[in-house]
Structure 1
């Protein structure tokens, strides 16, 4: 294995081959039966088309017999023409219905996937690649289209034609039919041996397509860092390597398919030679007539042509089953709220308190550790980021991690207890990795604690409906994303009914009035992909404006002023002060200057609370806080 391939697999691939779940035909049928009404019409059309096709050789046989006897043909020729036209029209309409139904199946599978993906637990997003999930929605679902258009489209009618031709040939000459069945049986055995390889190869190909999408998404998302680090060539090599592997799997599928497709042609040619040789001898011996032999040959073509379509259907269905395995893998994942009823029923509150007297938020001996899959994803993401930056000697900042606070092995929070009084401003401070961002994630129920309890308004958060809980919270992430679209689209994400006047008000409150004024479009001004048309500070202020517009009783701000200069930081603090009246604020900050006037400051280190109090109290009582304040010239 080349060094480039080794590096490529280390950065984008898997350390060892993992066999994913394999779908069965039984799992495919529900997608098809959703459209059973249309399929019933298709079945009827297939039966009528098959009868029209099967009648044609019989009419031809009658025509030949009459010609041999010099009898008048009568209306037989017109009957034959009518049968050909009817069969063609029925086939065309059937094809249209199946094409439309195939498109509907793709739509249905995409709708189910989108609904499931958007409601997966946060841990699944932390453990999976975004590009791979996108690939399942876009590429994998497309392969289901072929099941109807190339598989079911021909299998219904052709199976009837195959059966009818088989019966007719048995009536005409059983001996010739027996010889034909030997050839067909051999071809079916060959196809059966190859079909399983197509399903496995298709799944491998879809896995590679997912890796390719993830690699491109990763590189495009960090294109500025890649350019600045002089790593464009290495990224191109790595991603092209994945594309090369995808190509290799595609070639493998092509080779197997190339072995299957000629089988029908070979079966037809061998069968035709057998019929002409043995059939000619039997005509000469008087066992059958010329008309019977011609009719038998026509039925032979009707027998072998569906066989070719059947072989093609096997290829299409196996490809679809390979992709369906990846689709079902996501559809079988539990949603975020799937077990909420059981979780809520198991909650026991040792000391319930009336909501009006309870703290807004209370942590009681909370312990938490990230799932193993999330930790593995974190390790992989960090190794990729380090590989990208090491040659340029660029230090890996904490913000380069895909996690606001990278998950680590073992407990991230270790018996955390503190309370947030109603209407108070509480700050969480401490070094990176202390567990601050994880604390906010637990309040939002992106994860549930592995021990202890988190109470909101006196009720265990796990007993609350998630939507109801989050309606009480305004959450601004450390690296709050800006959605592609307009300023108004971003603001109304949590407040779809907000008026333009309300949107403009919160923008000016967070000192974003100049963003409105610099474009004639105002609120309809585009922000670009990931907010590229805004500065980092503007993106952060836009996220805060979005939270303020929703006007929740509790605001959770994770490093909400980290991208602001001194002037805008002060203006932001003034804006937060203005809206903080009557609200509860939980603020994470590395700059102590932004939180020194908080009602309570909670000092965290290594997943524990090591001090609580005001700024002056902590300077006296908590050495870590005193060191932080001294380094920031606050003491």
Structure 2
């Protein structure tokens, strides 16, 4: 990226950061008003101090002294109270912006296709939402208020100093240009380091996710890879130490030098005040140096905020990168609703290509499954059977052609309506780390206990659940590892059946079941398939021989289709698989 492109990216990021606060303009206007009032009030104290030193004390005017001291106390109390109000409003606004960022990123990622998650490491996604957004918290919650507060204080202080002595004010600003220059240098250094640090944090998250999940622990123990995993984590953590140190120390010597220069300027002013030709009163000198000290603090804070904001652009860019991801499977602008779903499923010359692959996973697939009938897809591993199932559930959209239900293109149905029509039970079972009851209700949050039991009975899992000490309130454990593969699969089957879908997709749904349980579940499926459209994918032909039609898939194409008997009579690929 050229310097011009980097500058353009920075400008865009700053505009987008500012846009996050547009909905909170009133609150921010109140904050700015409070800051202005507080800054103006704070400028009164040095003038009150000058009057105390030059007038009240030399004249022994006790009444004036009391009023001036009371005024100083009142100013301090008022600015403190205003500071509390400012902090409360700005923090509240900042937290709402953080909430919006978190929810926007999470919601946008929820709309991403399955393909995105197969290409992206889980730990990387988690790191963006937690580490990157968490790292932005200080910027979002306090930067706007800090900029307004410090800028207002600097301006008010300069006006007050000029009113006391414009010549000394010019002397005080000698160190400002080099301070701005070095601050910009430091900001660019920290921005680069911050980007590196966030990438390393993402890598650490990936190691944690892969190494401490139940599946990762089992793999590590069975492969004897524990020491290697510890070494990998240790190296990543050690790299983080170096990056954190570099981030904190970046430009510290330069900034320390500026602090020395800022400290030397008051000393020079004291020296100037002591020269024979100086006519400055002691009160003016004390008030001016007090203002000067009050100038350098907000000025350095303002420069530090610039450093923090610039370095945090790396975080914002990582978040905006996710928010700008195109949604591959989009909600239709004007969804079509099927009033009475029959479940007539059709593939019309469907071709599908994964990502940048040069080979089509499906090529010209046409399939007609009348409402209430069953179709079985058979073929070797990788032939395209599961891809067909994913298109029915609209986990992907066809590259060309279309898939319809009752004549309506799936792309014209809302995703929620499609999910209520199509139920999928796959060979890869995923259970949430909660109770069996809540796992089942995930499919239908308002399901009654009676409906849950009915679905569990249909999936041949109710008796096992009922015999557990906690019954349906039993925790399934991380990813359901408390149960065997067959038990998990039957829970997943019950979860799908609870939604009562008109189209049932069974993608190797009984692959983890023993023969006896498979027969029981198959009988349940046969009973439930009455009146439903059923798409079954299986390797064991014994489970599909009674299907109304069987389609043999090979390299993304349908080689032959028909009933079990007709395909055997043809003596083609299906007959070979049967043998």
Q: Report the TM-score, using the length of structure 1 for normalisation.
A: 0.84
Rounded Cα–Cα distance in structure 2 between residues aligned with 1:612 and 1:220: 46
**SS in structure 2 at match of 1:414:** strand
- Does structure 1 residue 474 correspond to structure 2 residue 423? yes
- Equivalent residue runs for 1:513-592 within 5 Å: 513-592=462-541
- Does structure 1 residue 315 correspond to structure 2 residue 264? no
- Does structure 1 residue 45 correspond to structure 2 residue 34? yes
Residue in 1 aligned with 2:231? 237
Q: 1:612 Cα deviation (Å)?
A: 0.9
Rounded Cα–Cα distance in structure 2 between residues aligned with 1:198 and 1:622: 71
- Equivalent residue runs for 1:141-156 within 5 Å: 141-156=133-148
CA contact (8 A) 1:152 1:313 kept: no
Rounded Cα–Cα distance in structure 1 between residues aligned with 2:203 and 2:89: 35
Q: 1:262 Cα deviation (Å)?
A: 2.9
Residue in 2 aligned with 1:461? 410
- Does structure 1 residue 57 correspond to structure 2 residue 57? no
Give the aligned length.
566
- Does structure 1 residue 29 correspond to structure 2 residue 15? no
Q: 1:223 Cα deviation (Å)?
A: 1.6
Q: 1:269 Cα deviation (Å)?
A: 0.9
Rounded Cα–Cα distance in structure 2 between residues aligned with 1:195 and 1:533: 51
CA contact (8 A) 1:146 1:317 kept: no
Deviations 1:26-76 (A, max 9, x none): 111132333333323322221222122111111111111115642415111
CA contact (8 A) 1:187 1:263 kept: no
Deviations 1:103-137 (A, max 9, x none): 22222211222221212233222222222222222
Q: 2:262 aligns with which of 265, 268, 277?
A: 268
Q: 1:510 Cα deviation (Å)?
A: 1.4
Residue in 2 aligned with 1:447? 396
> Comparing 146-155 with 203-212, which one deviates more in the overlay?
146-155
Q: 1:595 aligns with which of 519, 527, 544?
A: 544
**SS in structure 2 at match of 1:35:** helix
Rounded Cα–Cα distance in structure 1 between residues aligned with 2:350 and 2:481: 38
> Comparing 606-615 with 516-525, which one deviates more in the overlay?
516-525
Rounded Cα–Cα distance in structure 2 between residues aligned with 1:611 and 1:259: 76
CA contact (8 A) 1:184 1:267 kept: no
Rounded Cα–Cα distance in structure 2 between residues aligned with 1:412 and 1:525: 41
Q: 1:226 Cα deviation (Å)?
A: 1.8
Q: 1:187 Cα deviation (Å)?
A: 1.0
Aligned-residue Cα RMSD (Å) equals: 2.6
Rounded Cα–Cα distance in structure 2 between residues aligned with 1:409 and 1:241: 38
Q: 1:165 Cα deviation (Å)?
A: 1.4
Deviations 1:196-233 (A, max 9, x none): 22223222222222222122212233221221111122
**SS in structure 2 at match of 1:556:** strand
Q: 1:293 Cα deviation (Å)?
A: 1.4
CA contact (8 A) 1:195 1:318 kept: yes
Residue in 1 aligned with 2:3? none
Rounded Cα–Cα distance in structure 1 between residues aligned with 2:171 and 2:448: 80
CA contact (8 A) 1:363 1:419 kept: yes
Q: 1:322 to 1:355 in 2, by over 3 A?
A: closer
Rounded Cα–Cα distance in structure 2 between residues aligned with 1:185 and 1:331: 38
Q: 2:344 aligns with which of 340, 356, 360?
A: 360
Deviations 1:447-503 (A, max 9, x none): 111122222212222233332223211111220211121112121222222110110
- Equivalent residue runs for 1:162-173 within 5 Å: 162-173=154-165
Rounded Cα–Cα distance in structure 1 between residues aligned with 2:44 and 2:464: 75
- Does structure 1 residue 433 correspond to structure 2 residue 382? yes
Q: 1:304 Cα deviation (Å)?
A: 0.2
Residue in 1 aligned with 2:284? 292
Rounded Cα–Cα distance in structure 2 between residues aligned with 1:537 and 1:215: 30
> Comparing 47-56 with 245-254, which one deviates more in the overlay?
245-254
In the alignment, structure 1 segments of 5+ residues that lack a partner are: 1-18, 346-353, 373-407, 631-635
Rounded Cα–Cα distance in structure 2 between residues aligned with 1:112 and 1:285: 66
**SS in structure 2 at match of 1:176:** helix
Rounded Cα–Cα distance in structure 2 between residues aligned with 1:296 and 1:255: 33
CA contact (8 A) 2:113 2:395 kept: yes
- Does structure 1 residue 256 correspond to structure 2 residue 240? no
Rounded Cα–Cα distance in structure 2 between residues aligned with 1:31 and 1:263: 36
